[in-house]
Amino acid sequence: MKIGTQIRNMGPASTTSRILHCAKQAEASGLDHIWTVDHIAIPPEDAEGSNGRWLDPLAMLAFLAAATSKPMIGISVLVLPYRTALPTAKAIATIQELSNERLLFGIGPGWMQPEFDALGVNRKHRGKITDETMDFIRTCFDAPDDIVELNGQEFLFRPRPKRPPILVGGMTDAALERTIRCADAWLPMGIDPEPLAPRIARLKEMAEAANRACPDVYIIGSLPEEHPTARRLRRAVLG
């Protein structure tokens, strides 16, 4: 089992010095990965805890790549319908290149209606957009001779480091199907075994039916305060 932590890219804690301190302490504590999250247009009525302050997750990952050298850096999750495919692929490839291939690329279709409204994206199409964007990004990393075609135009996709692992967020059947079809791991929320166990069993069934190895599982949740890693991190961060 590997353990990571989220570094807040929202609210009053998302200062340069605080983020840098937490990243350094996470690395010194031997954590396996550090994570950031994605929101782009929080409405005022939903701004409690962040006051609407959200750092861009891709820029945050680039900062974490420079601030650390050992832990994997991940996003849980990048909402693919919020961004067009080619610039997203370029940003992912750049972060993967500059981090020495330490990126964990969590993706999801999103859920917050006001953010879709602000972007002018039909929320009903989020699943289709997610699948199309994910397929395009995979094509960019798998393209022979680094040549990709989009809208009838061929271009060179460089740099082209090793494709980062793709992790699909969500607890729905659609998320499991997306994971089996073209991802490396499943990224569910919560560590309660009661709702998680049947979903993992379903994932194994689907993998077997698709004649592929069962994807890895990365669980997002909170460690209890008495957990040794939680105590070690609290001492490192708070002194």
Predicted pLDDT at 193: 75
pLDDT tens digits, residue range 103-142? 999 999 999 999 999 999 999 999 999 999 999 999 999 9
| Strand boundaries in 70-151, DSSP class E | 72-79, 103-108, 147-150
Distance (Å) of CA 230 to CA 17, 193, 234: 21, 20, 6
- Which pLDDT band, with edges at 50, 70 and 90, does 235 fall under? low
Displacement of CA 199 from its chain's centroid (Å): 20
Tokens, residue 188: 């569910």
Q: What pTM did the predictor assign? A: 0.92
Sheet containing strand 216-217, edge to edge, reads 4-6, 33-36, 72-79, 103-108, 166-169, 185-187, 216-217
Find the Cα–Cα–Cα–Cα dihedral 169, 219, 216, 77, rounded to 10°. Answer: 30
Residue type present at position 26: A
Residue spans of alpha helices (H) in 68-112? 85-98
DSSP 153-166: EEEE--S--PPPPE
Cβ–Cβ < 8 Å for 95, 68: no
Predicted pLDDT at 95: 98
Predicted pLDDT at 194: 82
* Mean pLDDT taken over the chain: 93
Predicted pLDDT at 37: 96
pLDDT at 238 over 60: no
Residue 137 burial (CB count, 10 A): 24
Please enumerate in sequence order all residues whose Cβ is within 8 A of that of 137, keeping only pairs 6 or more positions apart, or say none: 85, 88, 89, 92
